[in-house]
Copies of this chain bind each other. A is one copy, B any other.
Amino acid sequence: MSKTQVSKRQFSPTPFIDSISTSPSVEIEPSGSVDLKSIISKLSEEEKNELALILKYRRLVDYLATAQIYLKDNCLMTEPLKKEHIKPRLLGHFGTCPGISVVYIHCNRLIVKHNLDMFLVVGPGHGAPAVLANLHVSGELGEFYSQYNNSCEGVSRLIKDFSRDGGFPSHVNPQTPGCIHEGGELGYALAVSYGAVMDNPDLIVTCIVGDGEAETGPTATAWHSHKYIDPVDSGAVIPILNLNGFKISSVTIYGTMSDEDLIKIFNGYGYTARIVGHDVDHIDLDMSRAMEWAYQLIKKIQSAARSGKPIFKPHWPMIIMRIPKGLGTIKELHGKKVEGTYLSHQVPAKEPQTDEEEFKKLEQWLRSYKIEELIDLKTGAIHQELIDLCPKGRMRMGWNKHTNPEYHPLSLPNIKDFETKIDLSVRGTPKNQTSPTLQCGEYLSAVIEKNPGRFRIFSPDELESNKLNAVLKVTNRCYQWHEQMANRGGYVIEMLSEHTMQGFMQGYALTGRYGLFPSYEAFLGIITTMVIQYAKFQKLCFTLKWKHDSPAITYIESSTLWRQEHNGFSHQILVF
């Protein structure tokens, strides 16, 4: 089914690793940002027109995001704004929305240009208004939910329903077409994205990481994830750090880092990092070039590996997008700067129902998008030239086939073939025992052989300490940052990060494949909340008629309770 003709790889076991490999990595192109001025002067008319259209598109989706947060009536601003048009409780976060929409339209552009298999994972919290707005313009929201069709009534209903019972919540959630990652507990977008591209060689996932989210531990270590991507068997992620500099009431760490430090840290993580957005007036030009650059770098790395001449330690692309928080919102309120500060993080004007300055500036803000130039106000129909910027049919990100795959069970060996006979007459003697996990390893080897590219082991402890190492007779540990391990494929991933392993597994499973997570009982609790949130994600999925069932995710809990007396309390979680 894959466009890429990857020949089935021969398995050969990894040799004994007798040295650490400290060979330099390959940064493929110089990092940094681009001088836009000289480029602008050379743009063709066609290019200028495209940029003008993209800007119009962004006005439309930013309007729709703003309206979802504020309006319960007069949704297309056909009459003067009145206080009774404003929702009684203002929910949703505007600050992150303009950045999400910049990424969204440039994903669309790249998909159309190169006929790409791509979808988007949105990390920043409460960014649903932007995603819903984009899905409305492409027509997808109306296809999944007929009440939100491309009409006056449809768009008004979307705006009114947002963040109310029966409507979409302020986080991207499983009800959102194309979503495989929910917000809420932040920190997992990146790991989920990398899990999704494993064994999907033609897939590219663009992942937006919020700069608040980037402060979490899980995100901080997930930047290493590319080291587990073999470019022969797997696709690629384009991570985009949405650097708007602020959280609810203060700065973010990454927002206060200089360009130099940002380039250093992401180079150090093993990326070729590129900064976008220094000239916010030309951010679309900047971003379109950066996305094209990222795509070409990915193709270069993949082509090299797939033609048998892999680049060792390739520095995959990542983009740092500096963008003012709440771009386009009210500039100043009550004498304080709003756009580009934390005051635009959540709801920029908090009390427009009672505060005259806020009310006036809210109306100015809503009118600034000139929605009448973008939508036929009589029918609610979006101008065709804006719809035409979106991919068509199943190429649209909400419809991406990987985000809602059909359910296919694993092919399982006969468990009876792995039976251990117990001679009851000598029961209990060491010679008549076997380790359950040792035996399980044999069974898993057969599972791996019967399901190439559909089953992976995500192991935060090490496989050998859980005695599952029989699987290494049929597959490798996948790790690309060591000469002896690179370019050998492998369905076992070991990284001492429960969070990253769980994120990988979620991304892998929600795109239709099967994951196993072995863990010491003492350390499985590290991902308690992730597992709970994942179960809630699934619970919501069950309520959606259009959503296929997901493959199971499986845990092996080893080294339970009293077997850890020599390690003391610290290796037990339940015994207290």
Contacts and interface: CB of A to CB of B under 8 A. Distances in A.
Nearest to A162: B566
A313 to B, nearest CB: 8
Interface stretch (A247-255, A300-308, A366-374): A247-255
Contacts of A251: 17, 20-21, 479, 481-482, 485
Interface stretch (A76-84, A144-152, A521-529): A521-529
Nearest to A212: B496
B215 A217 contact: no
A529 B532 contact: no
A184 B337 contact: no
A495 interface: yes
Interface in A410-438: none
A7 interface: no
A570 B173 contact: yes
Please give the count of copies of this chain that the complex contains: 2
A336 B17 CA distance: 10
Interface in A323-371: 336-337, 340-342
Given A21-B251, A25-B258, A262-B268, A500 B169 contact: no
A216 B212 contact: no
A267 B263 CA distance: 10
Contact of A265 (B213, B268, B463, B569): B268
A465 B247 CA distance: 11
B169 A568 contact: yes
A496 B186 contact: yes
Interface residues of A, number: 106
A169 B265 contact: no
Given A217-B221, A256-B22, A540 B525 contact: no
The 9 A-B pairs of least Cβ separation, nearest first, read: A184-B570, A265-B268, A217-B217, A20-B245, A169-B568, A264-B268, A220-B220, A220-B221, A215-B496
Interface of A: 16-25, 89, 91, 126, 163-165, 169-171, 173, 182-187, 212-213, 215-224, 227, 245-253, 255-270, 336-337, 340-342, 462-465, 469, 477, 479, 481-482, 485, 494-497, 499-500, 522-523, 525-526, 528-529, 532-533, 535-536, 539-540, 565-571, 573, 576
18 contacts: A17-B246, A17-B251, A20-B255, A22-B258, A24-B258, A126-B567, A169-B570, A170-B568, A212-B496, A217-B499, A224-B253, A227-B253, A249-B463, A265-B267, A267-B268, A528-B528, A536-B570, A536-B576
